[in-house]
Copies of this chain bind each other. A is one copy, B any other.
């Protein structure tokens, strides 16, 4: 684990919730860290590969990142305010497993997100 990765993890811990690469870069810069945008992207990518952070998309397609919790979960995201709730996905886990078996797939993972408008928006 290199220095940049740790920095990004620290910021994500501090801010909580989702942030884009550009935002994370700005935050670090504002705090006096001279880290380059390239390095931010690189660190985020390896953290995603290592399943340390989650990658989602904003409505406009911009990538946003957040620390994974230790349990596998899914997200309920508000399209209006961006607020996010972690949810249980028991039904989805089962569904993915059944389908994968049906088609003879192994080593399977899955993604599932729900998005809509929350009560306030």
Contact A99/B114 with A78-B105, A91-B91, A92-B91 known, Cβ cut-off 8 Å: yes
Copies of this protein in the assembly total 2
Q: How far is the CB of A65 from chain B (nearest CB, A)?
A: 13
- B91 in contact with A105 (CB, 8 Å): no
Residues of the B chain whose Cβ atoms lie less than 8 Å from the Cβ of A100: 76, 114, 116
Task: Report A74-109 CB contacts with B as 1/0, cut-off 8 Å.
Answer: 001011000001010101101110011001111111
- B119 in contact with A104 (CB, 8 Å): yes
Contact A117/B111 with A57-B57, A61-B61, A99-B87 known, Cβ cut-off 8 Å: no
- A107 in contact with B117 (CB, 8 Å): yes
